[in-house]
Structures are given as structure tokens and as C-alpha cells.
Chain A
């Protein structure tokens, strides 16, 4: 009985940890995407500035 109880507790804990890890990893993936998008838009902006500068010259 004790062993059964223990294993159900540990199964619960494993499930809980798995949920925490999934939640964390999902958030990390989103962060990575957002950083990449921000960098891309910054590069695009810089390139646009370069182009308009050349046109003026």
C-alpha cells in the first residue's frame, strides 16, 4: 500500500515537473523567435537607411 502510494506521489511529481518544463520550453522558444524578429527588423531598418542615403547622394 505504502509503495503504491509512494509511486502515485512520484508519478504526480514527475507529471508536475514535466508540465513545468513544457511551459518553460514553450516560453523559451517564443523568446528566441521574438529576439530574432526584432534583430531582423533592425537590420531591415538599417538597410533602408543605407539605401535612402545612397539615393540622396
Chain B
């Protein structure tokens, strides 16, 4: 498995996303820019230039037509994927930490940060897909301030108007976006900040990673913890393989603490765990700093990791990997 190194960012990566076909990979970074790459060879398709601060988050719709990005410059931006043009900018009092499209591409949910004098907020915007996309409603369709611990990650579930959130306290919750009510929560899903959340293809379960050094699988409907993957390092990202029963975890100690510990501790490896057996099955080295974000190709043929070191590494699996049956003939439903 020879990785392709994508060089185009000058600072830490914050989030990676494949489009639905998997031919494109999108990356955002602390260097203020968003990039699009051809996933098979790592060539850069283009750059989405306009943010004036760290771009914390991005998502792309299922048609690869629109891209949304959220930044520390307090804006949420809508881009044309193919032209690189910024179509619309929404401004807020604080930074945008997480964005996510709904399955039908009609809505975007975003989290803005809690800062002095401003509560953390969740907003849902209706996306006008007519015309060139530059005519968007300036006001959100729904907005609310989640009570208690601030939200760090969010996504739509398979139930309309129901979103799932991860929080600073380690809580995981379901919110009705029309009323702002917390419908259900698991206060003890994690013991520390929830850093990433990725849903299964049918959205019936999801994985979270946390600074508490664990990643967990949760039942979307009940928020029951199904599986726990315990590592020895704070985790920044967790991803699900869409076809194989594996989860991919990435993290590593903060730069400040790294100097005080031995480098050779495998802190910056992508860890592969069996999602049903809760056993670690392998690690992939490469990054020179913590792994901040991991995305798996929707066809399961590769995965990408983005690091604090400013690099994106795309790993295409060997054929032997796809054919291997390390656990015999057990059939595991996805």
C-alpha cells in the first residue's frame, strides 16, 4: 500500500471529505484554503479561496455541485465545486466549527462556537439549488442554542429534522431542529471532548472519537453504545469502512507534549480496529504529527488521512487486502 502524498496545504489539516462517487477528495486547513483533489492520483483539481481564517470544516453535496465550508473568520460559505466560485457567504458572531449536508442536499446544518457574550448555536439553512446557487436565504430555517455543554460535531439522521450532536463534555445527543429540544442524550458517551462523528451509510449507527482516547459506535435511535475501541492516545478522528467490518482511528498527543515523550511510540499512526470484535488489527504509519482527520472512500478502495503536519496521505488498498478473509467465512452485515 503506497500512499500518495498530497502537497498543497501549508498548515494543519482540519477535515477531509470524499464526494459520493469517491473520485474527488476535499480538504480544509488552518491555512485558510479548501482544496479539491483527484483521489486516484492526487492531482489537485482546484482551490476554493476566500476565507480569512482557519477553515474548520467542510461538506460536499451528493451531486458534487455545491460545497460548504465553515471558518474561524465567522463565515459559512457556499461554493461551486466545478468553478471554485464562492456563491454565498453567511456571517455569524463566532467561528463555524462544523457543517453537514442533509441526505437530500436541501439543507445544511452548522455549529457556531460559544464565545464571550455569544452562546453556541446550531442553525439549519435551506439551500436553494435553483439557478447558479448565488441566491440563498440569508436567514436560517431553524436556529437554537443547545443547553448545557457546547456542541462540537453534528449531522442529520435518517429521521427528518432530527440531528445528532457530540459535545465538549463527552455527551452525545439527538435534537429536534424545529423546536431546539434535546430529544435524547447519553451524558456519558465519552469522558472528554467529542472530536469527530461519522455516520454509517444508512445512518442507523455512527462512530465518535474523543480526547478520552476512545472511539465508540452508537445506535442512532437509542444512543446506546454498541462498541468501544480503547487506544493510548487522544483521538481526533474516527471513520467507518463502508464494506469491511473495520473502523479507522487517528489522533496523537498535542505537539507540546510530544517533545517530552519518545517519538517511537506509534502516536501518529492510523489504527484499524475490527468494529464487531473490538480488536486492533493493524496500523499505518506516515504522519509526523497528530492525525486530525480521516475519511474513507465511499467504495472502500482507499482512505485518506490529514495531519497536523500539513500533509494529506491517500492510501489505496492492495487487491490482496480486499480479498483477505482474516476472520474466516463469518459474514458481517454492514
* Total residues of chain B contacting the partner, CB 8 A: 17
Query: Does any Cβ of A come within 8 Å of B221's Cβ?
Result: yes
A18→B329 CA distance, assembly (Å): 11
Chain A positions within 8 Å of B321 at CB level: none
Residue-wise, chain B 94-117 has the 8 Å CB interface mask toward A (1 for contact) of 000000000000000000000000
Query: Does any Cβ of B come within 8 Å of A29's Cβ?
Result: yes
Query: Does any Cβ of A come within 8 Å of B130's Cβ?
Result: no
Chain B positions within 8 Å of A32 at CB level: 202, 204
Determine whether the beta carbon of A31 is less than 8 Å from that of B202. yes
Determine whether the beta carbon of A25 is less than 8 Å from that of B331. yes
A34→B220 CA distance, assembly (Å): 12
Across the interface, A17 reaches (CB within 8 A) one of B158, B221, B226, B277, namely: B277
Residue-wise, chain A 30-50 has the 8 Å CB interface mask toward B (1 for contact) of 011011001000100000000
Residue ID in chain B nearest A30 by CB atoms: B204
A26→B101 CA distance, assembly (Å): 30
Q: Do A28 and B158 contact each other (CB < 8 Å), given the known contacts A21-B276, A34-B221, A35-B202? A: no
Residue ID in chain B nearest A13 by CB atoms: B277
Across the interface, A24 reaches (CB within 8 A) one of B158, B160, B204, B333, namely: B333
- Distance between B280 CB and nearest chain A CB, rounded to angstroms: 15
Determine whether the beta carbon of B202 is less than 8 Å from that of A18. no
Query: Does any Cβ of B come within 8 Å of A20's Cβ?
Result: yes
Determine whether the beta carbon of A29 is less than 8 Å from that of B330. no
Chain A positions within 8 Å of B277 at CB level: 17, 20
Chain A positions within 8 Å of B160 at CB level: 42
Residue ID in chain B nearest A20 by CB atoms: B276
Determine whether the beta carbon of B158 is less than 8 Å from that of A35. yes
Chain B positions within 8 Å of A27 at CB level: 219, 226
Q: Of A20, A29, A31, A38, which is in contact with the most chain B CB atoms at under 10 Å from its CB?
A: A31
A35→B204 CA distance, assembly (Å): 8
Chain A contact residues (Cβ within 8 angstroms of B): what range?
Answer: 10 to 19
Determine whether the beta carbon of A24 is less than 8 Å from that of B332. yes
A42→B159 CA distance, assembly (Å): 10
Residue ID in chain B nearest A24 by CB atoms: B276
A27→B330 CA distance, assembly (Å): 16
Chain B positions within 8 Å of A28 at CB level: 204, 333-334
Chain B positions within 8 Å of A34 at CB level: 204, 221
Query: Does any Cβ of A come within 8 Å of B205's Cβ?
Result: yes
A27→B158 CA distance, assembly (Å): 17
Residue-wise, chain B 195-219 has the 8 Å CB interface mask toward A (1 for contact) of 0000000101100000000000001
A24→B159 CA distance, assembly (Å): 22
Determine whether the beta carbon of A21 is less than 8 Å from that of B332. yes
- Distance between B277 CB and nearest chain A CB, rounded to angstroms: 6
Q: Do A17 and B330 contact each other (CB < 8 Å), given the known contacts A24-B276, A31-B202, A35-B204? A: yes
Known pairs A18-B330, A27-B219, A34-B221; list 12 more (Cβ under 8 Å). Answer: A17-B327, A20-B277, A25-B332, A28-B333, A29-B333, A31-B202, A31-B221, A32-B202, A34-B204, A35-B158, A35-B202, A42-B160
User: Taking beta carbons and an 8 Å cutoff, which residues of B are in contact with A?
Assistant: 158-160, 202, 204-205, 219, 221, 226, 276-277, 327, 330-334
Q: Can you offer 13 A-B residue contacts whose CB atoms are under 8 A? A: A17-B327, A18-B330, A20-B276, A21-B330, A21-B331, A24-B276, A25-B333, A31-B202, A31-B204, A31-B205, A32-B204, A34-B221, A38-B159
